[in-house]
Chains A and B, each alone.
Chain A
């Protein structure tokens, strides 16, 4: 017996939701700290914390994040 149409729709939506949840879980596990700076003309580069300029960028970002904890 063929499934009712609304059951097919529900199964399909559930399938998409499961895929989205799995994607977000993978993203949380794999995403590491990073820094990216873009300049005029659409050029940009990623910076790691391995060099002094990258470290300074991460230090400055940590200060911004810390400052945001204080409200007006």
Chain B
């Protein structure tokens, strides 16, 4: 079997889909200031800004929400004087976003969930595609 370099997490199967999803969410909602998508291990698949910083901030929000609820949160909405923070979880994946104040929360959460579902749906297909690629290399 040929030696294959270890793939960084950014190149994990659903990373391209996550990048596209980030762009799609920002295109859908003008109020979005920034967002990030995390995989089930909490690693950043894509972000609109510095990935390391987004990883810490997004994980922090999800952890705080889990602690506040006493169980894994599926939706989070926090409105502050400076802006609004949202998070949505779907099958372990999570999308976290910051938006302008007074944004329509229900619309934002719906858009986020739709975008995240697209990423979740793409993950198995991408994994299968990667497996086919490895099989071709080995043949």
Contacts and interface: CB of A to CB of B under 8 A. Distances in A.
Interface string B62-75: 01110111011111
B80 A33 contact: yes
Contact-residue size bin, chain B (C-beta under 8 Å from the other chain): 35 or more
B60 interface: yes
Prevailing SS type, chain B contact patch = mixed
A22 interface: no
Contacts of A61: 61, 78, 80, 84-85
A57 B82 CA distance: 14
B48 A56 contact: no
A7 interface: no
A38 B64 contact: no
Contact of B57 (A28, A38, A54, A64): A64
Given A34-B79, A39-B74, A68 B34 contact: yes
B132 interface: no
A4 interface: no
Interface in A10-68: 27-28, 31, 33-40, 44-45, 47, 53-54, 56-68
A65 B82 contact: yes
A72 interface: yes
A71 interface: yes
B102 A54 contact: no
Contacts of B63: 60
A56 B68 contact: yes
A37 B69 contact: yes
B98 to A, nearest CB: 4
B112 to A, nearest CB: 13
Most chain-A Cβ atoms within 10 A of its Cβ — which of B58, B72, B76?
B76
A35 B69 CA distance: 11
Nearest to B34: A68
6 contacts: A39-B72, A47-B68, A61-B80, A63-B61, A64-B61, A64-B85
